[in-house]
A = this chain, B = another copy of it.
Amino acid sequence: MEKIGFIGLGNMGAPLAERLLKKYQLIIYDLDENNIKYFTDKGALACSTPAKLASQTSRVFLCLPTSTIVEKVVNGDDGLVKTAKKGTYIIDMTTGEPEITRKISNALMQEGINFIDAPVSGGPKGANQGNIAIMVGGTKEAFDLALPLLKIMGKNIFHAGELGSGNGAKICNNMSLGITMIAASESLMLAKRLNIDIKKVHEIMKNASGNSWPISVYPPLPDLIEGTPSNNNYRPGFSAGMMNKDLKLAYECAKSVSADTPLGKAALEIYEKFCKDGNDDKDFSAISKVIGGDAWDYPIE
């Protein structure tokens, strides 16, 4: 059975890797012993460094918290580049920075190694069910080569454009998500304060022009849609810290091309304060708690 490498088995990486595990011999690298044990128990082979992993396969997936960590895993002391053969494909599913993606890729190209960005959208639950969207940046040829493996992991797979475009599209998507999650919270909490049944307002907005992904799939208040973090004491899901990171990325990205993102910036400030107040690890939909103020007495752990 062909070996596939996977580095980064966190909230998002784990369910993605698990889908590959069903079809391929997985070789893995992660810093967390529990993550490693979970996968080796299911037949994956653990490597002690990225370099050792790259020596055994020509296809490596990364799903890491930031572009800076990706750089370290690729170019660090025991990085992938130390042993990766010519023709190796590195498919980076991290939500990263388009500029760093291009920098890493251009350097690897000199060694005959391909590096493309393929960040995902849809959350761990979607990843579990194979329902996520994947947005790929790279040549059409690289996209076509990655496609069969990506199809095991996701449903809607897009070739966003040249290298870095996957990250760019993801940043645009998640900036919209951060804003609309706050918008959904503001609207539902206003309804609550106006003494209108939240279930009715939610149902109305879902079927009218106030609709958005947070309203229709991932509402920030409990008892509206089953299986959401708001029904599970706001355990993530997708953490407020990660949303804060993505909004910061969007803001930096926008600044670098002189784009105007007033609500993106306002959303960043709201999430920044939320995280500073100690809520990094809550699901990002818990932002409704600060929007709600004292009008709403649902628990948050």
Contacts and interface: CB of A to CB of B under 8 A. Distances in A.
Interface of A: 98, 121-123, 133, 135, 156, 158-161, 165, 168-169, 171-177, 179-180, 182-184, 186-191, 193-197, 200-201, 203-205, 207-213, 215, 217-218, 250, 253-254, 257-264, 266-267, 270, 290-293, 295
A133 B209 CA distance: 9
Contacts of A261: 186, 190, 291
Given A169-B200, A190-B254, A180 B183 contact: yes
A266 B264 contact: no
Contacts of A189: 259-260
Contacts of A260: 186, 189, 290-293
Nearest to A177: B209
25 contacts: A98-B194, A122-B208, A156-B207, A160-B201, A161-B196, A168-B194, A172-B190, A173-B205, A175-B210, A176-B180, A177-B210, A179-B183, A179-B263, A186-B259, A186-B261, A186-B263, A186-B264, A190-B250, A193-B259, A211-B212, A212-B213, A260-B290, A260-B292, A262-B266, A263-B263
A71 to B, nearest CB: 20
B133 A208 contact: yes
Copies in the complex: 2
B122 A158 contact: no
The 5 closest A-B pairs by CB, nearest first: A173-B210, A176-B210, A212-B212, A121-B208, A133-B208
Nearest to A266: B266
Given A133-B208, A207-B156, A180 B180 contact: yes
B259 A200 contact: no
Contact of A210 (B123, B174, B200, B211): B174
Given A169-B204, A180-B212, A193-B257, 13 more contacts: A133-B207, A135-B204, A160-B200, A161-B196, A171-B190, A177-B209, A179-B180, A179-B182, A180-B210, A186-B262, A186-B264, A212-B213, A259-B295
Contact of A204 (B158, B217, B263): B158
Contacts of A205: 169, 172-173, 176
A290 B262 CA distance: 11
Contacts of A172: 187-188, 190-191, 194, 196, 201, 205, 210
